[in-house]
Chain A
Amino acid sequence: SAVISQKPSRDICQRGTSLTIQCQVDSQVTMMFWYRQQPGQSLTLIATANQGSEATYESGFVIDKFPISRPNLTFSTLTVSNMSPEDSSIYLCSVEVITSGRVNEQFFGPGTRLTVL
């Protein structure tokens, strides 16, 4: 398994500002993902954080808006830039851990609840 922590757990921000969310894992992992959960919605993948290279973004998400860093195998950051109220969501970090079988398990952090005024 993996224990994941995120900072901050919640924040209230003003329109036009940026917030950086940190994700720390207690073990080295290869795959690390960032998801967004908008109010009343499901989880949507933003990007995969790649160690040593640029993140891989899903359609609809761009690096200028959601820059991601992955300096090592246990840590990543997601920045939400130039925020608007539409960015109010829960942002979750997830890691994939090798288990028995062909499909590995994904573990999730507690999330960062962001409110943009």
Chain B
Amino acid sequence: AQSVTQPDIHITVSEGASLELRCNYSYGATPYLFWYVQSPGQGLQLLLKYFSGDTLVQGIKGFEAEFKRSQSSFNLRKPSVHWSDAAEYFCAVYGGSQGNLIFGKGTKLSVKP
């Protein structure tokens, strides 16, 4: 069955530091992968997606993610974190039985001043 693993429950980084959030997936075919962000009291906002082609995907808010088939990973990166990036980040793969997304458990990002 398809699954998504986000190994880090909570990460704290200093403002201006670089960020990498890990995501591993389990999927039989070519995966369609997504990263969403959920700010406190807000819904989920799509940061970026990977369908095919270039394995380095650019998203909104300065985020990027790299698809590595050999490692079954789709890690999210940002070169310089801003305080407003503090939120919860969810990795997801398309392929639920009803055409839905399957989500990881999320990584909560805290940003130190």
The residues of A with any CB-CB pair to B shorter than 8 Å are: 4, 31, 33, 35, 41-45, 47-48, 56, 58, 92, 94, 96, 101-103, 105-111, 113
Contact B98 A92 (CB under 8 A): no
Residues of B within 8 A of A106 (CB): 34, 46, 100-101
Residues of B contacting A: mostly: loop
Residues of A within 8 A of B96 (CB): 45
**B99 (CB) vs chain A CBs: closest residue:** A31
Residues of A contacting B: mostly: strand
Contact B103 A4 (CB under 8 A): no
3 closest A-B pairs by CB: A108-B44, A110-B43, A42-B103
The CA-CA distance from A48 to B100 in the complex, in Å, is: 8
Contact B51 A42 (CB under 8 A): no
Other A-B pairs, 20, CB within 8 Å; known A33-B98, A42-B104, A103-B94: A4-B43, A31-B99, A33-B100, A42-B103, A43-B44, A43-B90, A43-B103, A44-B103, A45-B98, A48-B100, A58-B97, A94-B100, A102-B32, A103-B51, A106-B100, A106-B101, A107-B46, A108-B44, A110-B41, A110-B42
